[in-house]
Amino acid sequence: MSKFIINGGKPLSGKIAVSGAKNSALKIIPAALLSKQALTISNLPEIEDVERSFEVLEDLGAKIFRNGQEARIEPEGIKKTELNTKLADKFRGSVMFVGPLLARFGEVKFPHPGGCVIGAGGRPIDLFLEGYRAFGAEIEEVPGKFYDIKAEQLHAADYFFPFVSVTATESMMMAASIIPGTTVLKNCAMEPEIEALAGYLNTQGAKIKGAGTPTLIIEGQKEINAGNFKVIPDRIETGSFAILAAAANADLEITDCNPEHILTLLNILKKIGVDFSVGSDWIKVQKGRRPLRAHDIKTHEYPGFATDLQSPYVVLMTQAQGTALIHETIYDRRLLWTDMLSQMGANITMCDPHRIVVQGPTPLYGKRLMSPDLRAGIALVIAALIAQGLTEIDNIYQIDRGYEKLEERLRGLGADIERAE
Ligand code: EPU
């Protein structure tokens, strides 16, 4: 297993560029299945989850030509409709192939997707299954083994999501774009990645209205084209770097980003005393007076406070004056990692699985740790960078899943961080 060795407390400054968004890339790659034509993707993040996604697509029979952050996908060769179990087991994003395969071929067989263990019950996919049934599909489930979905004739659906889900919204939106009839989806997620995906599909002949609002109206087309897609900037990386700058009290310029996508975070940073300025695609965080002021957060679907930014924010609150209540509303197991932050010296009280109280400011000290998942992993890196002494973070595959060449980019800011086997 690879690990990071971080010698904390070094002054940080300079520029850091944001990569393409993991959670946009992981949807556009399966979207290649919706058309017979070739799709070219640019600004792809070079991360493990994207590699896994290409492996799934290649296993299905697509041809993929990669050149760093660009890829061309030729889907003509796809005949297979069964997802490889070993590959699908590695990441939650594998579930994104199911909707397009079903819509295009009328059948799909797949195992329960893997990925970060942050939700109760192994991160259920009940919403997806309910959605496919609404399209007229029949589902056979062999528990613990696979789902086998078939449909003689898929039809448009009028579907209300019982709760908001990003990937379920995207999955049904993609499928509906080539299922005959007018599908109406209500209580949809509104994340920018969904708008980007809908925008691309519309330029290729799909008829999707309402992306970025709770109601999607989709007129299914017989066929859609494929073309060029530029992955949008990663808003979670953007927010994580802004939080790093605030926590390390560093002068940092974050480039190639879209500040509009993290307005909730920026609003809070302003309230707690972080000095920064914003342009159309950059954020400059300036050194300022410390300590910052503690501020409560409650995670929420977009445009609320992103659950994926909760963990870096908890680290920031260890450096702020006062008490912050952190309420995680999206996932059941996403605060458990804070035990490691307590081992580093943070003063954290767990109220229940969804709420912690952070009392700051407290100095943090280097420790030997293990990254339990992607977002907890980046939070531990931020904590290690501001801690006194040496921190070892094991299992950094979890970090590599979503952050491209992180150690190189952080070294560019003056961080003392090495990768070791
Ligand atoms: N849920 C169900 N049943 C379902 C689907 C979801 O119970 O069929 C639950 C989840 O367990 C969770 C809640 O619904 O408690 C909301 O989850 P959602 O479905 O919105 O999450 P997701 O679509 O699986 C995407 C991102 C996550 C991000 C969430 C919330 C991708 C590939 N993943 O997940 O990203 O946290 O939306 O914004 O887009 C990450 O990047 O680290 C990550 C986990």
- Express each pLDDT in 277-322 by its tens digit: 999 999 999 999 989 999 999 999 999 999 999 999 999 999 999 9
Three-state DSSP state, 316: helix
Predicted pLDDT of residue 91? 86
Asked which of 199, 230, 261 is the last residue of a domain, the reply is: 230
Who's near 187: CB < 8 A, 6+ residues apart?
160, 161, 162, 163, 164, 214
Which ligand 1 atom sits closest to the C-alpha of 331? 15
- Which residues make Cβ contacts (< 8 Å) with residue 352, sequence separation at least 6? none
- Do 196 and 281 lie in one domain? The reply is no
Mean pLDDT of the chain, nearest integer: 96
- Cβ(308) to ligand 1 under 6 A? yes
Kindly state whether residues 179 and 274 are assigned to the same domain: no
pLDDT mean over 109-138: 84
174 neighbors 30 (Cβ within 8 angstroms): yes
Ligand 1 atom 17, closest CA: 165
Q: What span, in angstroms and rounded, lies between the C-alpha atoms of 220 and 223?
A: 9
* Boundaries of domain holding 164: 22-230
DSSP helix/strand/coil, 239? helix
When divided into structural domains, the chain yields a total of 2
Q: In the prediction, which pLDDT does 118 show?
A: 61
Locate the ligand 1 atom nearest the alpha carbon of residue 123 and give its number. Answer: 11
Mean pLDDT value of segment 149-156:
96
pLDDT-derived band at 239 (thresholds 50, 70, 90) equals very high
> From the alpha carbon of 374, which atom of ligand 1 is closest?
42
Q: Active-site residue numbers?
A: 116
Whether 331 lines ligand 1, by a CB cut-off of 6 Å, is: yes
Residue 128 and residue 267 in one domain: no
Q: Is the CB of 47 under 6 A from ligand 1?
A: no
**Ordered DSSP codes for 1-46:** --EEEEE-----EEEEEPPBPHHHHHHHHHHGGG-SS-EEEES---
Atom of ligand 1 nearest to the CA of 189: 20
pTM of the model: 0.96
Query: Domain containing 246 — which CATH number?
Result: 3.65.10.10
Pocket lining: 44 vs ligand 1, CB cutoff 6 Å: no
| Contact criterion met (CB below 8 Å) for 62 and 77 | yes
**With contact defined as beta carbons under 8 Å apart, do 39 and 226 qualify?**
yes
Residues 115 and 183 in one domain: yes
Nearest protein Cα to ligand 1, atom 18: 165
Ligand 1 atom 19: residue of nearest CA? 165
* CA nearest ligand 1 atom 40, residue: 308
Of the residues 214, 230, 246, the one at which a domain ends: 230
Could you give the C-alpha distances from 184 to 111, 175, 193, in angstroms and in order? 28, 12, 19
CA of 275 to the centre of ligand 1 (A): 32
Closest of 314, 312, 370, 320 to residue 340, by C-alpha? 370
Residue nearest to atom 39 of ligand 1 (CA): 23
Residues 215 and 321 in one domain: no
Query: Going edge to edge, which strands form the sheet with 70-74?
Result: 63-67, 70-74, 39-42, 228-230
Tell me, yes or no, whether 287 and 398 share the same domain: yes
The reply to whether ligand 1 has any atom less than 6 angstroms from the CB of 295 is no
Residue 233 pLDDT exceeds 60: yes
Q: Is the CB of 98 under 6 A from ligand 1?
A: no
DSSP 8-class letter at 177: T
Rounded Cα distance between 233 and 255, Å, is: 10
- Identify whether residues 258 and 204 lie together within a single domain: no
Whole-angstrom distance, CA of residue 308 vs CA of residue 236: 7
Whether residue 26 sits in one domain with residue 14: no
Do 279 and 322 have their domain in common? yes
